[in-house]
Structure 1
Amino acid sequence: MNYLIKSKLTSIWVLFLCGVFMSSNLTSKNWLNHDAAEWWIVNDTVMGGRSASELLVSKQDAFMRFTGNLSLENNGGFASTRSHTPAGYFGDAEKVCIEVRGDGREYQFRLRSDRNFDGYAYVQSFQTQQNQWQSFSFQLANFVPQFRGRLIKGAPVLSADNIRQVGFLLGDKNPGRFQLDFRFIGAC
């Protein structure tokens, strides 16, 4: 009897693991810090705007939710969240992948090569489909260095071993509610 129970439990465990690994087409190591205290919000309120956002953690479903209201009042128009990454985490990767579920809006995936609060970011935009999990793969060579929405000329090329922050920004100039879930950030 014990053997039968162990055998059934082992079979269930194997099926579970297969389901977990087959549920995503991303095969690399996932860096996703599910500790909300390690992420911070940077909205247009730093310049007098009125956008509001928050980061929620769904540990049960293993994703994070960046949500809020984008406002254009007082020359506002952006909401963002970001977190530090461990030094060297992305190694020598040429691509970074994310897995997100959005609301049909265009967001930016942003990487920084320092741990500073202000400064330029390397940016790639992506278009979400409403309530659909999507995987995006970004070549590091295609990230565009920007500072407050302006292109930075002469910035060093981004390399994976220099990535120190990851984050998301909404600045599509469409006021209203937004929601972006994410469950994977990693080299691919």
Structure 2
Amino acid sequence: MSEPVTLQFYNQQHFNQAMLIHDTVMGGRSKGNASLMSENNGVLFVGDLSLENNGGFASIEFNLAQALPKQRFQQVVLATVADGRTYQLRLKTPFIPRGVAYVAEFKTTADAQRYAFNLADFQGRYRGRALTNMPELHFKDVQQVSLMLADKNPGPFRIELYDLQFNQ
């Protein structure tokens, strides 16, 4: 059995690009910023979710710097500290159309947590709508990872992202 693969969000050798994508692309008014937390090797994603002008989401997307090993990963584990809100872990592969993602929701706590997800936890979504007939997800094919807040509750948010571990 191979070792787990751990990707640290602050490490540019693991993620070579991070982009903020909010509902402003469609006229919404949500805000969010990301910054490196050098004292504890994480990425802080904070902002304010707004439902004004048909808004309601804020996200940060990371591109993997290198392809994952071609192993049969069974689980992905996210290490984070958050604010008690429900976030989405979103995975993208080259085998799905632009805008589509494999999505798993998770309710956070204010304590440091490791959230474990299996392949069955992810469903295909496009603009909040469930999709059927998606290609089968294989964690080894993931090229982008994002965290999205779209819980329909306006107000401030805060999530600290540490690492993502792929396990066999």
Cα offset, 1:40, TM superposition: 0.3
1:77-96 paired onto structure 2 within 5 Å:
77-85=56-64, 86-89=66-69, 91-96=71-76
The answer for the alignment partner of 2:154 in structure 1 is: 175
| Structure of greater Rg | 1
* Greater relative CO, 1 or 2 (CA 8 Å, sep 6+): 2
> 5 Å matches for 1:142-153?
142-153=121-132
Q: CA deviation at 1:117?
A: 9.4
TM-score, structure 1 as length reference = 0.79
Q: Which residue of 1 aligns with 2:133?
A: 154
Contact persistence 1:55–1:64 (CA under 8 A): yes
**1:127-182, Cα deviation, whole Å (9 max, x unpaired):** 1112x101111002321000000111101110012111111000011111100001
**1:115 and 1:165 in contact (8 A); partners too:** no
Aligned CA RMSD, in angstroms, stands at: 2.1
Deviation at 1:91, TM superposition (A): 3.1
Alignment-mate amino acid for residue 76 of structure 1: G
Task: Give the number of the structure whose residues are more often strand, by fraction.
Answer: 2
Asked if 2 retains the 8 angstrom alpha-carbon contact of 1:113 and 1:164, the reply is yes
Name the residue aligned to 1:40.
Answer: 19
Change (3 A) 1:37 1:48: farther
In the TM superposition, structure 1's runs of 4+ consecutive aligned residues that sit over 6 Å from their partners are none
Q: Contact 2:9 / 2:162 at 8 angstroms: preserved in 1?
A: no
| Same amino acid, percent of matched pairs | 34
Q: Structure 1 residues 182, 172: CA separation in 2 closer, same or farther (over 3 Å shift)?
A: same
Look up the match of 2:77: 97
Tell me which of 42, 62, 65 is aligned to 1:63: 42
Q: Which runs of 5+ in 2 are unaligned?
A: none
Distance 2:134 2:97 in 1: 18
Contact 2:74-2:139 at 8 Å conserved across structures: yes
Change (3 A) 1:155 1:149: same
TM superposition shift of 1:113: 0.6
Structure holding more helix per residue: 1
2:99 to 110, 119, 122: 119
